[in-house]
Homo-oligomer: A and B are copies of this chain.
């Protein structure tokens, strides 16, 4: 287990899907940040299942409690303990699976690695684990916004084979994104996506998708070459989210098909006397360091592994068997992944800000 992320803004999470509680410790948050539970709750609520038709109706209030690190509404500079109780424990729904590792789940690998695993739900590989990170990252978002005006907005850009147009150059708000249940700011594409999710659910199947994330107002200079280049840590952060299969920044995989003469981002003087680039194939990073242009990246999510359809597979001891998931499950997780992507981005950026303050002795 390696449940800690970050060097100076250090987030450690805990909690299984069906234990007593999940949560996190945030170590390294500067003192004197105004902070209440409400500041954290909004992203937790966006992450929550049961918001709509789109997602699993497990009813969990997911109310966060700040256990430490704040007094009189301000951070103390000490570790912030964050806890969300688990209330909806229905292990019965899952019990049948225990002799058969669920295909494309973590049952097999956890059992092999640990010789034990949570008997019900996904244990640490469950989406519920992400509560701790979202809470911890929500604090980072607030700090970045107050210090630098940083705005991080993610949305669903693909579901199955339905693609939204490229919206990365438009300045979108979270309200734009939350305008529909699928969290795609293009309403007509969103309708198609929601239709696809509905028919997928009716077939007791699941479907994958892609999120785009844009961060504006990122200070120039973030990222620590060589091994902690900004894009490298963002890639780690994103691929640490359950169900992710890919990450690309700026031109990404499409950029690998381009020629340098078209791909290079020329410099030009921009509004406010800032030297910037006229295109942004780089996606906001050059040499592993933020260059002041918006960070633009995309994350691929596989279709959820839990499906109601019968699946031919084998038990732990190799016996062929047919598996049918009971319970109700998300046919498409990408809308709920939006706050997870945003908060993981925030904690990555904040850690780099804290780490880089003295890079230039001449200042």
**Contact among B68, B77, B104, B239 with A264 in the assembled complex (CB-CB below 8 Å):** B104
Report the count of interface residues on A (CB-CB < 8 A).
Answer: 164
**Contact among B7, B119, B160, B206 with A71 in the assembled complex (CB-CB below 8 Å):** B119
A39 to B194, CA, bound (A): 51
Report yes or no: B258 in contact with A303, Cβ–Cβ below 8 A.
yes
Number of copies: 4
Report yes or no: B225 in contact with A1, Cβ–Cβ below 8 A.
yes
A203 to B259, CA, bound (A): 10
With A239-B247, A307-B264 already in contact, the answer to whether A15 and B302 are too (CB < 8 A) is: no
Tell me the A1-50 residues at the B interface (CB within 8 Å). Answer: 1-5, 7-8, 10, 12-16, 19-23, 25, 27-28, 30-33
Q: Is A52 an interface residue (CB 8 A)?
A: no
Min CB–CB distance A175 → chain B (angstroms): 26
A349 to B304, CA, bound (A): 26
Contacts of A143 in B (CB 8 A): 361
A72 to B19, CA, bound (A): 11
A289 to B31, CA, bound (A): 15
Contact with B along A159-187 (1 / 0, CB 8 A): 01100000000000000000000000000
Q: Is A336 an interface residue (CB 8 A)?
A: no
Tell me the A135-164 residues at the B interface (CB within 8 Å). Answer: 143, 146-147, 158, 160-161
Report yes or no: A208 in contact with B255, Cβ–Cβ below 8 A.
yes
Min CB–CB distance A158 → chain B (angstroms): 6
With A258-B303, A314-B269 already in contact, the answer to whether A78 and B16 are too (CB < 8 A) is: yes
A312 to B266, CA, bound (A): 7
Cβ-closest 9 pairs across A and B:
A106-B287, A246-B248, A206-B260, A77-B114, A32-B362, A269-B318, A109-B289, A2-B224, A260-B303
Q: What are 18 A-B contacts with C-beta separation under 8 Å? A: A1-B28, A16-B76, A67-B83, A79-B124, A105-B287, A108-B286, A112-B220, A114-B360, A115-B362, A122-B287, A158-B256, A228-B240, A232-B239, A245-B283, A247-B247, A256-B301, A260-B304, A267-B314
Given pairs A7-B7, A115-B360, A255-B302, 10 additional interface contacts (CB within 8 A): A2-B224, A14-B27, A23-B81, A101-B267, A122-B287, A206-B260, A245-B250, A246-B256, A264-B307, A268-B318
